[in-house]
Homo-oligomer: A and B are copies of this chain.
Amino acid sequence: MTHVDGETRVVAILGDPIAQAKSPELFNALFERYKVNAVLVPFHVPTANFGTVLEGLRGVVNLAGVVVTVPHKLLACAYTAHLSDAARQTGAINCLRREMDGTWTGAMFDGAGFVAGLHGRKHDVCGKSALIVGAGGAGVAVAHALIDAGVASLDLFDSNAASLQRLAGALRARNSRTVIRESTACAQASHDLVVNATPCGMRAGDTLPIDLTDAGPQTVVADLIMKPAETGLLAAAKARDLATHPGRHLLENSIEAMAAFLRLIPTLSTRPAAVDNADSAAA
């Protein structure tokens, strides 16, 4: 529950659709926990209106910032004067902060939020072997973050060969120690982590985006999809007694970083986010 008065600062989340977004509830609970007089509200904004809406919001003095979600994460970059490292690497943003000079700074917390969520569930990734299926915005963000976190090898698949090549090339250009390989949509016995970064699984009747037949018993199966909470992939993983990692952990572990970036909470807390502890039993 949120208190709104004349002094409340406003954050808008822009997406199309937006009804499914969990950010309003998560952010507003965070603001309440920190006793910050702010509210995050959903803005359903079609792509054709994105620039006009953003320009309008730039003129609102008590706007604290903008959260950007599907399908605007790539487009939003065009409106920024500055980008965070993760935003530059991924070419996508999920958060916009208005600076004193009226320009926008864009940042991307999806990848870091995903890795923080894994760590919060005691799934370490340093030195491990991972597979990411899907080289769109989410897959790109997660791939860069897994390299930042020190994965030993990263297998990649996308049904679009150009997207796959582009991502593999960008990751290799970082000259990290991570081995980058184009792969298939099949878990291998050696994978410690497989990640669905495609939209496949959002709708009932979707086929499984990743073949788990050869997955080893140590494999953690992660899905970035937030709705449904249990995708077909996660259900299949459970049936195989594999550890599962649902999509909500990404958001739950990035909102505190986003609120700090928007200067709504003073510093990042170092404890695991309370929302992550609260639902331990559910995972």
Taking Cβ atoms with an 8 Å cutoff, the residues of A that contact B are: 1-8, 10, 16, 18-25, 28, 39-46, 48-49, 52-63
Q: Give the number of copies in the complex.
A: 2
Q: What B residues does A41 contact at CB under 8 A?
A: 4, 8, 10, 39, 41
Residues of B within 8 A of A39 (CB): 2, 4, 39, 41
Q: A275 to nearest B CB, angstroms?
A: 15
User: Chain B contacts of A44 at CB under 8 A?
Assistant: 60-62
Partner among B2, B16, B19 whose Cβ is within 8 Å of the Cβ of A7: B19
Q: Tell me the bound Cα distance from A151 to B184 in angstroms.
A: 82
Residues in B with CB closer than 8 Å to A54 are 56
Contact A20 B45 (CB under 8 A): no
Closest B residue to A6 by CB, please name it: B21
- With A and B bound together, what is the CA distance between A52 and B57 in angstroms? 8
Q: Across the interface, which residues of B come within 8 angstroms of A7, CB to CB?
A: 19, 42
A20 to B59 CA separation, bound complex (whole angstroms): 19
Given contacts A4-B42, A43-B63, 14 further A-B contacts (CB under 8 A): A1-B1, A4-B39, A4-B40, A5-B42, A6-B23, A7-B19, A7-B42, A45-B60, A45-B61, A46-B61, A49-B60, A52-B55, A56-B57, A56-B59
Are A28 and B53 within 8 A (Cβ)? Answer: no
Q: Give the residue name and chain of the B residue nearest to A56 (CB).
A: B56
Q: Are A3 and B1 in contact (CB under 8 A)?
A: yes
Q: Using Cβ atoms and an 8 Å threshold, which residues of chain B touch A40?
A: 4
Q: Which residue of B lies closest to A25 (CB)?
A: B5
Question: Given the complex, which residues of B lie within 8 Å of A18, measured CB to CB?
Answer: 6, 62
List 20 A–B pairs whose Cβ atoms lie within 8 Å, in order of A's numbering. A1-B1, A2-B3, A2-B4, A4-B25, A4-B40, A6-B20, A6-B22, A8-B24, A18-B62, A39-B39, A39-B41, A44-B60, A45-B59, A45-B60, A45-B61, A46-B59, A52-B55, A52-B56, A53-B60, A55-B55
**What is the distance, in angstroms, from A13's C-beta to the closest C-beta of chain B?**
8
CA distance A24 to B38 in the complex (A): 13
Chain B residue with Cβ nearest A32: B1
CA–CA, A54 to B3, complex, Å? 24
CA distance A56 to B41 in the complex (A): 15
A75–B10 alpha-carbon span in the complex (Å): 24
- Min CB distance A225 to B, Å, is 15
Contacting residues, chain B, for A45 (C-beta < 8 A): 59-61
